[in-house]
Amino acid sequence: MTEKDFIPQPYSAAVEQGEVSWQSPSNIALVKYWGKLENQIPANPSISFTLNNCRTTTSLKFQKKKDLATDFDFELFFEGEKKDSFRPKIQKFLERVEPYLPFLKDYRFVIETSNSFPHSSGIASSASGMSALALCFMSLEKQLDPEMREEYFIRKSSFLARLGSGSACRSIEGELVVWGLHNSIYESSDLYGVPFRDEVHENFRNYRDTILLVDKGEKVVSSTVGHDLMNDHPYAETRFRQAHDHLDELQKIFRSGDLEEFIKIVESEALTLHAMMMTSQPYFLLMKPNTLAIINRVFKFREETGLHLCFTLDAGANVHLLYPDNEKEETLEFIKAELLQYCQGGQYIEDHVGKGAKQVKLA
Ligand code: DP6
């Protein structure tokens, strides 16, 4: 599919007003997206586990305008309160997606959104937030085009979510999602995320992710700026090639169930991501002393127990602890006893792999 396939034909139905609501999860990348080209095209392919508990719920009320539509018309509420500070981000999203949703200026929208995870926890809400919003707009488009096929609905939702925030395109479906063209992954595309359809060993079923909230403060450098710094990064080409190779290796690992090899790829990806930050110009550092303390404790735990706990990082100081479901008792006991001391206010979130976004039925 190309971008043009997402430009709709004239709609067959008329819709005056209504409301739709979606709940969409966050995701955690195993191979990281870091670096992009024009129009949110990723510089390398990535793969993520869709999460289950970290979710954004968004509802969209729409009312057809009587007068000639000249601009976008929307109001935003976050956790019940009016949130004008989110306006520029949403305005930009609407501008980017308008060629694909030509009805946007014809309606007045009220967008209400809330997260299942604590506000300012440093948990990226752009993936869950942008995917939930994209799905809401697609539900409206489906009312305008009742014949729309399910596959198109899902693909286009991911395509639109990507234009809001790259990683958001991996939050529509579960359980493993690939985004970015890769030679040996069937149907992979730079334009949207696709579920990883190869064989996956049962070791990876219901994989756990305990998120340690190390630092809840504002990030010193946003992801968007970080991506841009990959443009003339001295190691960029090598890094992008490595991501392709890591996906090849992961494909084999998912088949074989080899957890030791899985850990090598996942931790290398996390440290490479932060190495890219530390070696860009200007360089920056998002890990905190407690991030490193946790990583060292994870290494030691693995050495002492032979269990398969590993870590990954996003663009921040928080640590995602990944481990197999059948090791959860001992692992969680260790996390609670030894690692919560490194979290701000002892805060952590228990999550696991999930199946993707769900429409919320309105009463
Ligand atoms: C480190 O998707 O937040 O989490 O496209 O600019 O919105 P934008 O960036 P964003 O970048 C996420 C980067 C990452 C790695 C990943 O999720 O693959």
* pLDDT value of position 217: 74
Which of 97, 167, 265 for a ligand 1 pocket mutation test, highest count of atoms within 8 Å of Cβ? 167
Mean pLDDT of 317-336: 98
How many angstroms is it from 126 CA to the middle of ligand 1? 9
d(CA 334, CA 69): 58
SS3 330: helix
Strand stretches in 32-145, DSSP E: 36-37, 41-42, 46-64, 73-78, 81-82, 107-115
Residue 356 DSSP class: B
Nearest ligand 1 atom to the CA of 162 is 5
* pLDDT value of position 122: 64
128 lines ligand 1 (CB under 6 A): no
d(CA 264, CA 275): 16
Asked if pLDDT for residue 117 goes beyond 90, the answer is no
126 lines ligand 1 (CB under 6 A): yes
Banded model confidence at residue 3, pLDDT cuts 50, 70, 90: very high
In tens, the pLDDT along 169-200 reads: 999 999 999 999 999 999 999 999 999 999 99
Contact 207, 322 (CB under 8 A): yes
SS3 78: strand
In order of their start, the domains of the chain are 3-197+355-359 (3.30.230.10), 206-352 (3.30.70.890)
Nearest ligand 1 atom to the CA of 167 is 2
In tens, the pLDDT along 131-162 reads: 999 999 999 999 999 999 999 999 999 999 99
How many angstroms is it from 290 CA to the middle of ligand 1? 22
167 lines ligand 1 (CB under 6 A): yes
Mean pLDDT of 54-82: 94
d(CA 137, CA 111): 11
How many angstroms is it from 28 CA to the middle of ligand 1? 10
Which of 56, 130, 227, 250 for a ligand 1 pocket mutation test, highest count of atoms within 8 Å of Cβ? 227
139 lines ligand 1 (CB under 6 A): no
269 lines ligand 1 (CB under 6 A): no
290 lines ligand 1 (CB under 6 A): no
In tens, the pLDDT along 216-242 reads: 777 778 888 999 999 999 999 999 999
Q: Nearest C-alpha to atom 6 of ligand 1 is from which residue? A: 224
d(CA 274, CA 271): 5
334 lines ligand 1 (CB under 6 A): no
